[in-house]
C-alpha cells in the first residue's frame, strides 16, 4: 500500500472545564478532580491519498476546526497520532498567526519559513505572494494597519504560494469580495490539478459536492459518515432536514454574486416552446435562461435546479457536469435545458438558476423567483411521479 499524504488515527481532544478559576488551584493541591472533561473529538481516524481532495462538513461545534488545527500542528491531540510525510500549509483562522507589529512582507517571509522553505525558495515565492495579495503599498506596512479582508488576502497568498504537499483549508473561500473569491477558487483548482492533497472544510455544501472526491461528516466529535463526497453531503442534508425542517441544498451556492454576468430572464416552456407555469407529470419541460456577460470571451456555466418551496431539491441540471458548457463567444446568450418527461408529482415547485465561472464554483448571478405547478387528477404521495410496471411472478 502506498504511503498516504496525510493519515490520522484515534485522534481525540479533551478540554478541562472548571466552574471557577479557584478550582484549578484546589485540584492541584488536593489531587481531587474539580473539572469536567469536554470532548471536542472522540477517536477520529482517516487518511488522504496523494492528490485527493477531502471535504469536512458538520454543524458548528462538531469538532471540524479542532481536527484541522491538530493536523496543521497548531494544537496537540489528547490521544491519537497523525503523520504528514511532506510539506503542509494551512489556512485556518485567516491572518491569526500574523504578528501585528511587523510588515506584511516580513510576515510572509516568516510564515513561508515555518512551512519549511529555504531562504532562496522564499525569495522566489515573495513576488508571487505580493502580486496575488494585491495589497499595494500596504505590503510594506505593519499588519496592525490592515483590515480583516487585507489580512485574509495575505494569508491565502502565502499559504498557497509555498507549493505544499498538503493544503488544509478552513472556510478559505470566504475571503474578500466576489472577484477575489474567484481568484482563490482558480488558485485552489491549480493546486488540485498539480496533484496537491487538499483537506477542505466548508459550510457551503455545493463546494464540497463539486470540488471534493470524498468527505467526512463530523457530529459531536465523532465521524457520522465518510465516503464519496456527494453521498456524504446528501446524508448530512437529510439529517439537517429531519432536525430543522429545512434542507441545506447542494444546489445552493455561497452568497456574494459577482458582476461578470447577469441573468436577464428565466422562462419555462412546454413541448411546443410555449411559455407555461402549469404542467402535468410526464410533460416535456424546459427552462430557458437569457443572460449577458461583460466579456464575450469569458467562459461561463449554467446551473438549474428545481426544489419545493421549503428547499427540498427535486432535480438539478449543470452544464459543466453534463458536458454542455462552458458557453462563450457572445455577450448575450439564450440557453435551454430540457427534460423530456417531467418526473414530478402534484405540487408547487421553485426554479433556481445561476450562472457562474467555468468551474461552476464562482457565482456571477442567480435567480430564484420563478415558480410553477404540477397538476394531476390522481393524487400520489411523494414528490416524484415515475412510471411503474407491475408483474405477478408465477
Residue 256 lies in a domain: no
177 and 286 share a domain? no
Question: Binning pLDDT at 50, 70 and 90, where does residue 285 land?
Answer: very high
C-beta separation of 328 from 296 below 8 A:
yes
287 and 350 share a domain? yes
pLDDT at position 106 is 95
Residue 284 lies in a domain: yes
52 and 187 share a domain? yes
CATH number, domain of 352, equals 2.70.50.60
Rounded Cα distance between 88 and 166, Å, is 5
Q: Does pLDDT of 272 surpass 70?
A: yes
pTM here is 0.69
Range of the domain at 348: 261-374
How large is the average pLDDT for residues 124-148?
92
How many distinct structural domains can be found in the chain? 2
169 and 30 share a domain? yes
58 and 172 share a domain? yes
Mean pLDDT highest for which of 155-169, 201-215, 220-234?
220-234
104 and 207 share a domain? yes
Residue 132 lies in a domain: yes
225 and 293 share a domain? no
pLDDT at position 85 is 85
In the chain, the percentage of residues whose pLDDT exceeds 90 is: 44
283 and 231 share a domain? no
Q: Does pLDDT of 136 surpass 70?
A: yes
pLDDT at position 344 is 92
pLDDT at position 250 is 43
151 and 275 share a domain? no
Residue 140 lies in a domain: yes
CATH number, domain of 221, equals 3.40.50.300
Q: Does pLDDT of 394 surpass 50?
A: yes
pLDDT at position 95 is 56
pLDDT at position 186 is 84
131 and 47 share a domain? yes
294 and 208 share a domain? no
275 and 216 share a domain? no
pLDDT at position 249 is 45
Give the model confidence (pLDDT) of 55-76 as tens digits.
999 998 999 999 999 998 889 9
List Cα–Cα distances, 119 to 86, 159, 166, 372, 379, in angstroms.
Answer: 18, 16, 21, 62, 72
Domain-terminating residue out of 244, 270, 290: 244
Torsion (CA) 37, 40, 42, 43 in degrees, nearest 10:
-120
pLDDT at position 334 is 95
Give the model confidence (pLDDT) of 88-118 as tens digits.
888 776 556 788 999 999 999 998 888 888 8
How large is the average pLDDT for residues 334-354?
93
Amino acid at each position: 500500500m502506498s504511503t498516504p499524504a496525510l493519515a490520522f488515527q484515534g485522534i481525540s481532544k479533551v478540554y478541562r472545564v472548571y466552574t471557577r478559576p479557584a478550582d484549578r488551584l484546589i485540584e492541584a493541591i488536593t489531587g481531587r478532580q474539580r473539572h469536567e472533561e469536554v470532548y471536542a473529538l472522540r477517536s477520529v481516524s482517516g487518511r488522504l491519498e496523494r492528490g485527493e481532495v477531502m471535504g469536512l462538513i458538520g454543524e458548528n461545534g462538531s469538532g471540524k476546526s479542532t481536527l484541522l488545527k491538530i493536523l496543521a500542528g497548531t494544537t496537540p491531540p489528547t490521544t491519537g497520532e497523525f503523520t504528514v510525510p511532506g510539506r503542509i500549509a494551512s489556512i485556518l483562522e485567516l491572518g491569526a498567526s500574523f504578528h501585528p507589529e511587523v510588515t506584511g512582507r516580513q510576515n510572509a517571509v516568516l510564515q513561508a519559513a515555518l512551512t519549511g522553505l529555504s531562504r532562496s525558495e522564499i525569495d522566489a515565492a515573495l513576488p508571487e505572494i505580493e502580486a496575488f495579495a494585491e495589497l499595494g503599498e500596504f505590503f510594506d506596512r505593519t499588519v496592525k494597519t490592515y483590515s480583516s479582508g487585507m489580512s485574509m488576502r495575505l494569508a491565502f497568498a502565502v499559504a498557497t504560494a509555498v507549493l505544499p504537499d498538503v493544503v488544509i483549508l478552513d472556510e478559505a473561500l470566504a475571503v474578500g469580495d466576489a472577484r477575489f473569491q474567484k481568484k482563490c477558487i482558480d488558485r485552489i483548482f491549480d493546486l488540485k490539478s498539480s496533484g496537491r492533497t487538499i483537506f477542505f472544510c466548508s459550510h457551503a455544501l455545493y463546494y464540497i459536492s463539486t470540488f471534493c472526491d470524498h468527505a467526512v461528516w463530523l457530529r459531536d466529535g465523532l465521524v457520522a459518515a465518510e465516503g464519496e463526497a456527494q453521498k456524504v453531503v446528501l446524508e448530512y442534508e437529510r439529517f439537517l432536514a429531519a432536525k430543522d425542517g429545512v434542507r441545506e441544498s447542494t444546489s445552493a451556492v455561497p452568497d456574494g454574486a459577482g458582476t461578470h454576468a447577469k441573468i436577464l430572464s428565466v422562462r419555462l416552456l412546454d413541448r411546443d416552446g410555449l411559455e407555461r407555469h402549469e404542467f402535468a407529470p410526464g410533460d416535456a419541460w424546459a427552462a430557458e435562461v437569457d443572460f449577458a456577460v461583460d466579456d464575450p470571451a469569458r467562459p461561463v456555466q449554467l446551473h438549474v435546479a428545481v426544489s419545493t418551496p421549503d428547499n427540498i431539491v427535486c432535480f438539478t441540471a449543470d452544464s459543466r457536469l453534463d458536458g454542455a458548457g462552458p458557453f462563450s463567444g457572445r455577450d448575450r446568450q439564450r440557453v435551454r435545458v430540457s427534460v423530456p418527461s417531467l418526473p414530478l408529482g402534484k405540487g408547487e415547485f421553485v426554479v433556481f438558476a445561476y450562472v457562474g465561472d467555468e468551474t461552476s464554483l464562482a457565482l456571477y448571478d442567480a435567480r430564484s423567483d420563478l415558480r410553477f405547478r404540477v397538476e394531476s387528477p390522481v393524487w400520489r404521495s411523494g414528490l416524484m411521479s415515475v412510471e411503474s410496471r407491475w408483474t405477478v411472478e408465477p
